[in-house]
Homo-oligomer: A and B are copies of this chain.
Amino acid sequence: MNRKALEQQIIAKQSVLCVGLDTDLAKIPKHLLKEEDPIFAFNKAIIDATQKYAVAYKPNLAFYEAEGLNGWKSLKKTVDYLNDHYPEVFTIADAKRGDIGNTAARYAKAFFEELNFDSLTVAPYMGEDSVRPSLEYRAKWTILLALTSNPGAKDFQLQSNGERRIFEEVLRQSQEWGSEEQLMYVVGATKAAFLKVVRQIVPNHFLLVPGVGAQGGSLKEVMENGRGQSSAALLINSSRGIIYAGQDEDFAKIAATKAAELQEQMARYL
């Protein structure tokens, strides 16, 4: 999906909502466990109920890998379902991969060809040659970790080389590697004060902002300080706050209500 199509979807839906599919067998409603594929059944219901309010879906790979082969099957069914039924929706493989060139190329193949996601999250620790292989897929998006929303973000991302902090180095250097048509950044919402700093370095790249909701970020702060120069250029993720809001037969309806609430708040700033 190209940038223009993503931006048009954002305008049409008046939403920058990304729904995180951190689907956990221990947390989904109990009645789904009798389904042949409970993870997919849950995802499908969530997607159908929330797709009016969301522009993107982000399966978190760890939750699928933890279920082994069955998890991988559920993941494939989920992305196939999204591509078949809601082709306008942006899909994110939240896998945070990162390895040397020939290996990174295999990860790109896995997520862009085998699974046909629109985008893949990538970790920057191994530097340029670990990021370039996914950027070689010009019609796909690489979403590079810059500043994350967890406590450990301070351990290395906030170390300074005297001139700038490591997450700023990541933003600065990586702009040479890919354009704003195919490179986004993960920027943690609980660091909304940092959004201005980020926007000084990358005024117009899309930012994927996790941490609104369960991780405690403020939507208002993100929408006000995070938007891009020429468009909103934001995807704001909520996972647990939407998908586990309900625990009974009506879980999808409750998820839709939560998604609609977020969408309404987002619309105010769009």
Q: A residues within 8 Å of B by Cβ?
A: 22, 24, 60, 62-63, 65-69, 71-73, 76, 96-104, 106-107, 109-111, 113-115, 123-131, 145, 148-157, 159-162, 166, 169-170, 173, 215
Contact = CB atoms under 8 A, between A and B. Distances in A.
A237 to B, nearest CB: 12
Given A60-B103, A62-B99, A130 B150 contact: yes
Contacts of A71: 110
Contact of A22 (B101, B103, B148): B103
Given A96-B98, A159-B161, A127 B152 contact: yes
Contacts of A154: 127
Nearest to A99: B96
Contacts of A66: 106-107, 109-110, 113-114
B127 A150 contact: yes
A183 to B, nearest CB: 15
Given A125-B124, A128-B152, A69 B68 contact: no
A102 B22 CA distance: 10
A116 to B, nearest CB: 11
Contact of A65 (B107, B128, B129): B107
B98 A123 contact: yes
B106 A63 contact: yes
A269 B246 CA distance: 61
Nearest to A214: B102
Nearest to A146: B125
Given A60-B103, A106-B63, A145 B169 contact: no
A128 B155 contact: yes
Given A22-B102, A65-B110, A126-B152, 9 more contacts: A60-B106, A66-B107, A66-B109, A66-B114, A98-B98, A130-B152, A155-B169, A159-B161, A162-B162
